[in-house]
Amino acid sequence: MRQAAQEYREGDWFAAPLDDGRYVLGRIARHSNSIVFGYFFAPPFDHVPAPAEIGDRRAADSFIQLRFSCLGLERGDWPVLEQSGEWDREAWPLPEFENRLDVPGRPTVVYAIRLDEKTVSREVSRRRIDPNEAGKRPDESLFGTEAAAIRLRQALSKPH
């Protein structure tokens, strides 16, 4: 018998497993169809955090922001904890993303990209930026559940 899909919505807090027994707290800022955009917070927990452990985190406190597949949330592998407090969409913006083109033998080209708020995927603008600005925006990539866990572990290992 198939288990019912876990429900989630903008503003929900959830726990993303890192496949090493730890969990990172995340917040859904946007979602459309099967794509979710979320903010993630350090330090990781050695357990699924309880709603009381969410605290008063803000978007600016996140160590990384990602676009990722909804599968972990839908299957319940990424447990939804709660929707805490008033949801203020403006306080949790969909940022400008970065797209980097590295072609061997050519200079690196970096673009700043805006995505549509409703689809979280359709590009609405693209502008070339100086490569010295690279790394100041979230990567435009869309991560699967397992790839997102790897990316979160990598980001946690870097100094913030």
Q: Alpha helix (H) ranges present in the chain?
A: 71-75, 145-157
Taking 90 as the threshold, does the pLDDT of residue 3 lie above it?
A: no
Q: Report the pLDDT averaged over residues 97-102.
A: 89
What's the pLDDT at 101? 83
Classify the C-alpha dihedral 98-91-125-121 as positive or negative: positive
Q: Give the C-alpha separation, 84 to 5, whole Å.
A: 21
Mean of the per-residue pLDDT values for the chain? 92
Q: What is the pTM of this model?
A: 0.91
The torsion angles phi and psi of 91, rounded to 5 degrees, stand at: -80, -10
- The owner of tokens 């922001």 is 65
What's the pLDDT at 19? 86
- Report pLDDT digits (tens) over 79-91: 999 876 678 999 9
Taking 90 as the threshold, does the pLDDT of residue 31 lie above it?
A: yes
Point out the least confidently predicted range of 16-20, 71-75, 107-111: 107-111
What's the token pair of residue 138?
């979230």
- Report pLDDT digits (tens) over 50-68: 999 998 999 999 999 999 9
pLDDT classification of 4: cutoffs 50, 70, 90: low
Q: Report the pLDDT averaged over residues 8-29.
A: 95
pLDDT classification of 1: cutoffs 50, 70, 90: very low
pLDDT classification of 29: cutoffs 50, 70, 90: very high
What's the pLDDT at 10? 94
Domain regions of the chain by residue span: 12-91+140-157
What's the token pair of residue 82?
């709660």
What's the token pair of residue 157?
């290992």
What's the pLDDT at 114? 97
